[in-house]
Amino acid sequence: MLPRTRQPIGTLWRVVFTELSPRGNVACLGPWHPERERVEAWVVWFRARGMHAVLQSSEAAGIRPRGPG
């Protein structure tokens, strides 16, 4: 079996709650996800329910995501 290497997997995206989140936390961070469109849909969904949510990229957060290994 070949060894796994940690290679860049591209930009990841997440929802950031800028005020009170569904869990009751301020500035709660959602999980990272590789599909921007899916995370944007979640941002729209949370905003439609009155929550203050924004989209954040791993590049803007200063993170260099890598694959498993």
Of the given ranges (3-12, 38-47, 57-66), which has the lowest mean pLDDT?
Answer: 3-12
Per-residue pLDDT for 26 more than 70? Answer: no
Q: How confident is the model at residue 62 (pLDDT cuts 50, 70, 90)?
A: confident
DSSP of 23-67: TS-BT-BPPPBS-HHHHHHHHHHHHHTT--EEEEETTTTT---B-
pLDDT recorded at residue 2: 46
Query: 21: pLDDT confidence band, cut at 50, 70 and 90?
Result: low
The amino acid sitting at 5 is T
- What confidence score (pLDDT) does residue 19 get? 77
Say what the pLDDT of residue 15 is. Answer: 92
Q: What b/e string do you get for 29-60 counting C-beta neighbours within 10 Å, with b at 16 or more?
A: ebebeeeeeebeebbeebeeeebebebbebee
